[in-house]
């Protein structure tokens, strides 16, 4: 009898593990097909610490970051478009080169919070165009009377 209970428990654990892996795989594939691959870290950070793989999407009002290694259904970071200021760009250095090779790192500021985004050169161009094409802060449309 106890052997039967053990077998049932093992089967249930395997089913649960396979289900979780399938959900994670589905989430990763879904996100990758609908965004731009980046690495993001909050500043201040250590020399090569804090980088997180993820996907960004741009909408009219914000940059939306989804961390790939998270089971969270919503975004991990939402950065308002009007608040983004690019502070500089650099190439990977030190041990960053092992993970971030052939990417450019942008340092951005958003309402006092600092971030670094590592992305491919085409994605950097798209990001810069998106930021620069935002409407001016003063161009808030008024409703007609």
Give 78-115 pLDDT, tens digit per residue. 999 999 999 999 999 888 888 888 899 999 999 889 99
Q: Output 135 or 9, whichever has higher pLDDT.
A: 9
pLDDT of residue 28 exceeding 70: no
Residue whose pair of structure tokens reads 């998270």 in the numeric block: 70
Q: Are 3 and 30 in contact (CB under 8 A)?
A: no
| Best CA proximity match to 40, nearest among 78, 71, 8, 14 | 78
| pLDDT given at position 50 | 86
Mean pLDDT, range 24-41, rounded to an integer: 76
pTM of model > 0.85: no
Report the distance separating Cα 10 and Cα 125, nearest Å: 51
Q: Which residue has the higher pLDDT, 24 or 75?
A: 75
Distance (Å) of CA 111 to CA 6, 29, 59, 118? 55, 32, 18, 20
Give the closest residue to 62 by CA, choosing from 32, 43, 89, 83. 83
Residue-wise pLDDT tens digits, 1-22 = 688 889 999 999 999 999 888 8
Contact criterion met (CB below 8 Å) for 119 and 104: yes
Structure confidence at residue 27 (pLDDT): 66
Residues sharing a CB contact under 8 Å with residue 78, sequence separation 6 or more, in sequence order: 62, 63, 64, 65
Q: ∠ at Cα 35 (40, 39), nearest 5°?
A: 15
């Amino acid at each position: 009898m106890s052997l039967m209970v053990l077998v049932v428990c093992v089967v249930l654990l395997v089913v649960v593990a396979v289900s979780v892996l399938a959900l994670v795989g589905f989430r990763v594939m879904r996100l990758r097909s609908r965004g731009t691959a980046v690495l993001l870290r909050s500043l201040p950070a250590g020399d090569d610490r804090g980088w997180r793989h993820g996907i960004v999407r741009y909408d009219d009002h914000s940059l939306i970051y989804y961390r790939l290694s998270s089971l969270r259904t919503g975004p991990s970071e939402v950065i308002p478009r009007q608040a983004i200021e690019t502070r500089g760009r650099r190439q990977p250095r030190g041990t960053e080169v092992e993970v971030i090779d052939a990417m450019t790192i942008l340092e951005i500021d958003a309402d006092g919070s600092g971030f670094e985004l590592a992305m491919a050169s085409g994605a950097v161009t798209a990001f810069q165009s998106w930021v620069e094409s935002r409407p001016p802060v003063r161009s808030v449309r008024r409703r007609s009377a």
